[in-house]
């Protein structure tokens, strides 16, 4: 490796974390140059095995030990690295020994994940947990009753050991006055991990042993081979029960085989998500009435329709103890933009309210905790309304007193009928006798509806053939974007699709990235223009954020938003008819929610 490429490692004005980040960026760039996914997977493993080996060797040198690193599974393939790349990997491993030992799993694991092929990383749900989140989740577990002096702990998706290594250190800190051999026996007997990726499982075993290396040397013992199980946790049998089930389970929708769908049927409602399945699994692993489940997950389970059965399970068999919303979602995990939270549940029914806090990461090893308050969560599958700040506590109490929903106002919600890439041959750049305007999400703007089809792959018209008349919308409705970007000020962006525009072409076709709020045929006194104004209000957007932190806006969640009573909305209708100012209408809507100032 050239001296120039090594310069940043010796710069005195550069922090050790900045040097690590540079090494990580270089590793990612090397991986990006690999052509095929299979080659990239092998490359990532070859690189990271070199990092781990260098890290282990540096520790052995530090403690004057000749303990050999455990062998990588024979099923894992490797490739030859160039001397330049190999030297960088070795330098990275040696450098990581300068960080606290509990950080190594995250630091090495996050290099591994950024080097992985995107498809493989998505399939495995591989996103390693930053140390301050691990520390906070273990603190919350202790508050929920976990005693690390005697607790048994399992991480069912242990990755590179980001949780197991810190757990082992907490266990070790509780040991007093016993012989090293006795401490070692007690400790390893209480630890268990499961990991589907055989290479990640190997990393987890090495890094777990690395935090125990002084104890291993004194006890003259190695970490038992069965501590980390290589396999799919969802398919494991007879693993046992534990005082604490902890971890960061994989995320992502998954298609289940019939036997697996049957196994997890109690927590499924439609599509299955991996982290939902792992949450169900965790409730089975936890000791009845005393076991604790502590997970880092997305927040989508709080309100999504597909998690209705899971919410029922988590309130009927468990007690929600604490929730921490993680701030700065795009600065916590590499390439993850969805809102995440720390969740702690205790098996059985306990007379406790749920504590809610905001966790703000402050670098690699620090996080600020802002307590928001406590809430009561009802049993069953209803949406969980949770405050995102202290000001939301009173606001939530007001929401709970508002029984009106869209259906009570005579409106239903559906998804746009056209999946455009299934009818590519019917898309048209110009209008003909059988074509209709194609409404894309880009037509929904902060200023209202504006017919547009200028983005990539978008065209303004679609031809509708015989027996496809179901695609046509012929009545005035309110359009709501199904997916927003994190840069948008509001999660809900709605626009009235006026009857006048529809009548010009005898109908329109709406693409499926749009929610359609339409009159359900029942008599209603509330005009669709009022519904659009209501959904676009800042206070309704605030209510939605207490339901979901996701950038996705589903029909189920729209139907869950508490709304003002019909007689209150007639007031808004009159204000619109009289040409009232936008701010005055906003204030009027806010007042119905008990909000005096915006």
Do 475 and 573 have their domain in common? yes
pLDDT at position 500, please? 96
Is 524 inside a domain boundary?
yes
pLDDT at position 330, please? 43
pLDDT at position 125, please? 58
Do 443 and 554 have their domain in common? yes
Do 410 and 362 have their domain in common? no
Residue 505 to residue 497: CA distance in whole angstroms: 13
Do 302 and 433 have their domain in common? no
Is 354 inside a domain boundary?
yes
10 Å CB burial of residue 160 (0-12, 13-18, 19+) is buried
Q: Which CATH number belongs to the domain containing residue 308 in this structure?
A: 3.40.50.150
Do 421 and 555 have their domain in common? yes
pLDDT at position 548, please? 80
Is 436 inside a domain boundary?
yes
Do 500 and 558 have their domain in common? yes
Residue 513 to residue 166: CA distance in whole angstroms: 43
Q: Which CATH number belongs to the domain containing residue 477 in this structure?
A: 3.90.220.10
10 Å CB burial of residue 428 (0-12, 13-18, 19+) is middle
pLDDT at position 329, please? 47
Do 536 and 581 have their domain in common? yes
* Per-10-residue mean pLDDT, the chain, length 598: 64 87 93 93 95 96 93 91 93 94 90 87 70 95 97 94 94 90 95 94 94 94 93 93 96 91 95 95 96 94 90 96 81 57 95 92 85 92 89 90 93 93 92 94 95 94 93 96 76 95 95 94 82 96 85 88 94 95 95 84
- Look up the domain containing 339 and give its range: 136-142+247-376
- Among 354, 376, 398, residue at a domain's last position: 376
Provide the phi-psi class of 179: left if phi over 0, else alpha when psi is between -120 and 50, else beta. Answer: beta
- Among 376, 392, 419, residue at a domain's last position: 376
pLDDT at position 331, please? 46
Do 369 and 414 have their domain in common? no
DSSP conformation letters of 352-411: -PEEEEEEEE-SSS-EEEEEEEEE---SSSSPPP--SSTTHHHHHHHHHT--B-GGGGTE
Do 424 and 526 have their domain in common? yes
Is 422 inside a domain boundary?
yes
pLDDT at position 127, please? 64
Is 582 inside a domain boundary?
yes
Is 175 inside a domain boundary?
no
pLDDT at position 536, please? 96
pLDDT at position 351, please? 87
Do 349 and 437 have their domain in common? no
Do 313 and 352 have their domain in common? yes
Q: How many domains does the chain have?
A: 2
Is 98 inside a domain boundary?
no
Is 131 inside a domain boundary?
no
pLDDT at position 486, please? 58
Do 309 and 451 have their domain in common? no
């Amino acid at each position: 490796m050239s001296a120039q490429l090594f310069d940043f490692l010796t710069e005195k004005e550069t922090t050790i974390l900045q040097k690590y980040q540079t090494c990580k960026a270089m590793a990612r760039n090397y991986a990006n140059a690999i052509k095929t996914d299979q080659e990239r997977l092998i490359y990532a493993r070859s690189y990271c095995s070199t990092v781990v080996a260098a890290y282990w060797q540096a520790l052995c040198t530090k403690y004057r030990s000749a303990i050999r690193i455990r062998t990588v599974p024979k099923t894992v393939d490797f490739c030859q690295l160039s001397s330049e790349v190999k030297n960088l990997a070795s330098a990275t491993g040696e450098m990581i020994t300068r960080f606290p030992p509990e950080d190594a799993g995250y630091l090495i694991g996050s290099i591994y994940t950024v080097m992985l092929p995107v498809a493989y990383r998505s399939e495995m749900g591989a996103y390693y947990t930053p140390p301050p989140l691990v520390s906070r989740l273990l603190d919350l577990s202790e508050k929920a009753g976990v005693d690390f002096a005697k607790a048994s702990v399992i991480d069912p998706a242990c990755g590179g050991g980001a949780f197991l290594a810190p757990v082992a250190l907490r266990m070790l800190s509780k040991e007093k006055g016993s012989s090293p051999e006795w401490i070692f026996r007690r400790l390893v007997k209480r630890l268990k991990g499961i990991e589907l990726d055989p290479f990640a499982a190997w990393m987890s075993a090495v890094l777990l042993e690395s935090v125990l290396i002084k104890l291993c040397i004194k006890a003259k013992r190695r970490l038992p081979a069965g501590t980390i199980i290589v396999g799919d946790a969802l398919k494991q049998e007879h693993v046992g029960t534990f005082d604490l089930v902890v971890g960061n389970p994989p995320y992502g929708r998954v298609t289940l085989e019939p036997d697996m769908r049957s196994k997890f049927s109690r927590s499924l409602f439609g599509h299955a998500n991996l982290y939902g399945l792992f949450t169900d699994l965790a409730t089975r692993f936890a000791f009845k009435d005393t076991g604790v489940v502590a997970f880092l997950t997305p927040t989508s389970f709080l309100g999504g329709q597909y998690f209705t059965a899971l919410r029922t399970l988590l309130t009927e068999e468990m007690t929600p103890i604490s929730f921490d919303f993680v701030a700065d979602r795009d600065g916590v995990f590499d390439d993850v933009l969805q809102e995440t939270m720390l969740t702690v549940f205790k098996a059985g029914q306990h007379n406790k309210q749920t504590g809610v806090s905001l966790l703000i990461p402050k670098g690699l090893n620090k996080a600020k905790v802002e307590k928001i308050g406590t809430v009561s969560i009802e049993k069953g599958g209803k949406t969980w309304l949770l405050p995102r700040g202290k000001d939301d506590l009173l606001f939530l109490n007001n929401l709970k007193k508002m029984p009106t929903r869209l259906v009570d106002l005579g409106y239903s919600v559906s998804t746009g009928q056209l999946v455009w890439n299934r009818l590519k041959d019917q898309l048209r750049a110009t209008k003909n006798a059988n074509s209709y305007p194609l409404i894309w999400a880009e037509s929904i703007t902060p200023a209202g509806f504006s017919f547009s089809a200028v983005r990539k792959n978008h065209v303004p018209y679609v031809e509708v053939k015989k027996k496809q008349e179901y695609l046509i919308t012929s009545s005035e409705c309110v359009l709501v974007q199904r997916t927003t970007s994190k840069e948008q000020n509001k999660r809900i962006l709605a626009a009235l699709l006026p009857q006048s525009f529809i009548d010009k072409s005898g109908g329109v076709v709406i693409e499926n990235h749009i929610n359609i709020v339409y009159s359900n045929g029942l008599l209603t006194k509330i005009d669709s223009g009022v519904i659009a104004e209501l959904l676009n209000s800042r206070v309704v957007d605030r209510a939605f954020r207490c339901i979901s932190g996701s950038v996705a806006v589903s029909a189920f969640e729209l139907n869950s938003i508490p709304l003002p009573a019909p007689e209150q909305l007639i007031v808004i209708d009159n204000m619109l008819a009289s040409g009232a100012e936008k701010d005055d209408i906003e204030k009027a809507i806010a007042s119905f929610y008990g909000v005096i100032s915006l």
